[in-house]
Amino acid sequence: MYLSTFSNNSIDITGNDKDRNQTKDVESANFLVMGVDLGSGDENDKNDPKRTDTIMLVHYNKVDKKYDVISIPRDTLVELEEGTRKINAAHAIGGVQYLVDTVEDLLNVNIDYYVKLDTIAFREIIDAVGGVDIVIDQNMYYDDPVQDLHINFTASTEPQHLDGKKAEEFFRWRKNNDGTGLVEGDIGRIKQQQKFYNALLSKVQSPSIITKAPKILGVFPKYLETNLNAMEIMDYGLNVISTPKNNIAFHTLMGEDAWIDETSYYIYKEEMNSDIISILNNEDPTTISKSKLRVSILNGTNQGGLAETFANGILAKGYENCIYGNYDQSLKPVSVSEIRLYGLKEEDKASIEKDFGISNIKIMKEVNPDCEIEVILGEDKTQ
C-alpha cells in the first residue's frame, strides 16, 4: 500500500544507446546512489540543476550475500562532452542518465538501478527511523547564512543522538569557521559519512525498526526517485536488514589529488583499485586474474635475450600482458633477481613466486603507471 505510487518519476537507465545486457546478472546487482545538493537553494524546484554531494556505487553479490558500498569522491576527474569536469557536475549537466553513463565509463561496469535523494529526503528518512546515535570525535562549528546552514557539535566520547536535521549537518560538515577541519578533505568527509552509514545500519537492523516500517515506507514514494519497483524495494530492504554487518563493507575509490588549470581534482587510478574492480566483476579480490595483470620484465644482466626468453615462459602461464626490455645499464649487473609488486598485496606473493620462480619479492607503496609486476632479472637466472 505504501509503495503503490512509487517510481512514477523514474527513468529507464538501460537505454538502447548503450551496449548492455538486457537481462540483469542473476548473481549480482549494481545500484548507483546519488545525494544531490540544493542547486540554487530552492528545495521545491525539482527542475533546478543539482550537483551530486554524495555518489556511491553499491554492489550486491547474490551468491555470497554480500554488499560492497563504494564511495566515489565528488572531485573525481572525468572527461565529459563538455570537457574536463569533476564527477559531481555530471548530474547538474545531464541528469541521472548522464551520471550513470559517466560512472559506467569510469569503472567499466553496468549499473542496474539508481536511487536519487536530496536533503529533504535524507532528513525525512533519518527522522523516520528514529534518528541515529553516533560518537562525534571533533568539534564542528560552521555557519553558512546563504544556505541557512548552522552546524554546532561539541566533541564527546559519548554517542550523540542526531535527528534528520542534525544528521544532515554532520553529513555535510567539512571545516569550521576558522578554517580548521578534516585534514584529508573530501576523503576525510567520506570517512565521516561511512562512520554515519555504520551507525545508521545498526539502527535499521535493530528490532525496534519493525514498528517504524510504516513511516519509513511512507517516506520513500514521496521523496525518493528510483527505477526499483515496489517489490524490489521490499526485497532489498528486508535483505539489508537481515544481512550480517560483517557482510556489508565500505570502500573508497582510490586515487591521487592533483591541481589542473588551477582547479583541484581527485584522479582515479585503476591500478590502485584492483580489489574494487574484482568485486564489481564478481571476482574474488584475493585471487589474481593473470590475464589482466601487466608484467614488465627487465634484463639486469649482460646476457642478451634473457628477458625475451623469460617473458615467453611467463606468457605460457597465462600472463597475457607482458613486455620486456633492458634494465638501467648503470645498475648492471644485478646479482639476485627481484620482483616489485604495485597495487598488489602480501597474499599475492605466493602464487607469483610459484609462477615466476623468484622469491625476492617486494610490495611497493608507490604507483607504477605501466605495470603491476616488475621483474628485474639477475645473474642467478643466467645459470
pLDDT for 212 beyond 70: yes
Q: pLDDT averaged over the chain?
A: 87
Least confident among 37-51, 129-143, 237-251, 331-345:
37-51
The pLDDT assigned to 14 comes to 60
* pLDDT (average), residues 131-146: 94
Instruction: Choose which CATH entry (3.40.50.300, 3.30.70.940, 3.30.450.40, 3.30.70.2390) describes domain 290-381.
Output: 3.30.70.2390
The pLDDT assigned to 279 comes to 87
Note the pLDDT tens digit of each residue in 229-244: 888 988 998 899 999 9
**Cβ–Cβ contacts within 10 Å for residue 63, how many?**
9
The pLDDT assigned to 203 comes to 93
**Cβ–Cβ contacts within 10 Å for residue 132, how many?**
24
Could you write out the DSSP letters of every residue in 24-46? --TTEEEEEEEEE--TTS-TT-T
Could you write out the DSSP letters of every residue in 316-361? TTT--EEEEEEPPGGGPPPSS-EEEEES--GGGHHHHHHHH----E
Q: For the chain, give me the number of helices (H) and strands (E)?
A: 9, 19
List the Cα angle 9/11/17 in 5-degree steps: 165
What pairing do the DSSP bridges indicate for beta strands 66-71 and 52-61?
A: antiparallel
Look up cell 556511491; give the residue: 56
Note the pLDDT tens digit of each residue in 273-310: 877 888 888 776 655 668 778 999 999 999 999 999 99
Note the pLDDT tens digit of each residue in 140-165: 999 999 888 899 999 999 999 999 99
Specify the CATH superfamily of domain 28-280: LCP protein (3.40.630.190)
What are the cell numbers at 35?
545525494
Backbone phi, psi, residue 311, to 5°: -60, -40
Closest CA to 52 of 83, 79, 78, 91: 91
Percent residues over pLDDT 70 in the chain:
89
Locate the domains of the chain by residue range.
28-280, 290-381
pLDDT for 24 beyond 60: no
| 3-class secondary structure, 189 | helix
> Per-residue confidence at 6, pLDDT binned at 50, 70, 90?
low
What is the C-alpha separation between 157 and 221, in angstroms, rounded?
Answer: 37
Residue 383 DSSP symbol? -
* pLDDT (average), residues 91-97: 94
Are both 28-280 and 290-381 of the same fold? no
Residue 24 to residues 28, 30, 101, 111: CA-CA distances in angstroms? Answer: 8, 10, 17, 10
Dmax over CA atoms of the chain, in Å, equals: 78
Residue 83 DSSP symbol? E
Please answer whether residues 30 and 57 qualify as being in contact, where contact means their C-beta atoms are separated by less than 8 angstroms.
yes
